[in-house]
Structure 1
């Protein structure tokens, strides 16, 4: 079977895929996991690239399966031998370097976990990540059973909540500018807290950039703007990494304006 045929076979089972090169790199000009699809016409277009050698599964929400990656080179087989009896019979295949990819049904609470965080040589691939479907290169499927439920004991603990650092209290003397600034800040926080999915980063950037104009009047200072907008972004569902990156971008853009 060609890589495209494997991708089409997976698509028929609701598994979204995208192509990678033989070196496990995204194709030049591609958007990697964001390109993943189950549409036959789209897959034919993606896999028409001459370097489309490997089939990568978009794990998590796009495909409904997450993957337990047992990395042989980092000692994952020891963990596997100790814990395999606790795992259900489920879809699994051999990897190029002698490890395992064990696919189970995705759970909304399941997040990607980096190598060695839950066990030596073990990684969890969930939404936003991917896993190579090595049978597309001739490596064996070790178990063809339907993906089983992800076991409770293998759920990673939730990330610790993040609280933005407190800003220095305002110490200006222009109370009219202060009242105007605080009113603008309240409105911006309200808009951020109810921003719809897909618009949250842009809303955070836009509202923060707009508020930073008021630092020149003395009504607000950058620290309190960042603190308030970060709390609103947390309420909207953004994580720390997204919030910090967006706030840095807004602050940099304002300084350059």
Structure 2
């Protein structure tokens, strides 16, 4: 039987070979030990790494993201795999990259990034971005069962020691760049056509969502569409009508559709400030 590398050994490999800053996480957990500062304590110097993990001999591995590393976090329990399938069907693939299975059965896709990108939660249903100011749990860490899942070990499915980190796909980089920069030409023109195109894209995402993730896709699309309403780029009735049609085409029940759209729009409006819905 092959010898399983220790957590400290793997932490030293990540920092030494890739320059990924690492830090201890509590045993069997995704959170830092009490009295530590989490990713703010992340280091790459081998002596500092060894010292940190000697304080917590059973610690899991935290890998600080940002500074050249971006991790695409797929949560299979909340429609992440269905979202990935929908994105690929739209011609937005991720390509070949290092992939880790998470303790709760999700996936982490590892990419190189060469500009500042912030962490994003729920960019699509079940999909998060770990970048500047974030971290992920590194293999072979192990987490216990919780409300979030059954727990288990993190493991490489595609090993970064054999598969170099590719650059983040261009289409994803465009999506992640600060909205103020990407949206400025559209917003300054005041043209309603850009809003219509954005709403149409949200509707196509809902209509193409896989079974089991359609309601989550509709909620996410409604939340995103609320931005168009807040900016007075499009009317509420047009948003509701377009998303309702897409959801009906996807096979959702009309009562479920109405409640989900209302919930998503309300959350989106509340996040962006007061507005009449």
TM-score, reference length from structure 1: 0.57
The alignment yields a C-alpha RMSD, in angstroms, of 1.9
Unpaired segments ≥5 residues, structure 2 = 143-152, 182-277
* Structure 2 residue aligned with 1:141: 156
2:51 counterpart of 1:45: yes
1:53, distance to aligned residue in structure 2 (A)? 2.1
Q: Please give the per-residue CA displacement for 1:91-124, whole angstroms capped at 9, x wherever unaligned.
A: 111001110000100231422111x1x2100000
**Separation in structure 2 between the aligned mates of residue 41 and residue 154 of structure 1, nearest angstrom:** 36
TM-score, reference length from structure 2: 0.53
CA contact 2:118–2:133 (8 Å) conserved in 1: no
Q: Please give the per-residue CA displacement for 1:60-107, whole angstroms capped at 9, x wherever unaligned.
A: 11xx21100001121111112333571121111100111000010023
Alignment CA distance shift 1:119-1:125 (3 Å): same
Alignment CA distance shift 1:87-1:58 (3 Å): same
**Separation in structure 2 between the aligned mates of residue 45 and residue 7 of structure 1, nearest angstrom:** 12
Unpaired segments ≥5 residues, structure 1 = 162-257
Larger Rg: 1
Structure 2 residue matching 1:135: 3-state secondary structure: coil
Structure 1 residue matching 2:96: 3-state secondary structure: coil
**Separation in structure 1 between the aligned mates of residue 140 and residue 36 of structure 2, nearest angstrom:** 23
* Structure 2 residue aligned with 1:95: 102
Which structure 2 residues correspond to residues 106-185 of structure 1 after superposition, within 5 A? 106-114=113-121, 116=122, 118-137=123-142, 138-144=153-159, 145-155=163-173, 156-160=176-180
Structure 2 residue matching 1:149: 3-state secondary structure: coil
Q: Please give the per-residue CA displacement for 1:31-58, whole angstroms capped at 9, x wherever unaligned.
A: 1111111111111111113365210110
Q: Which runs of 4+ in 1 moved over 6 A?
A: none
CA contact 2:65–2:130 (8 Å) conserved in 1: yes
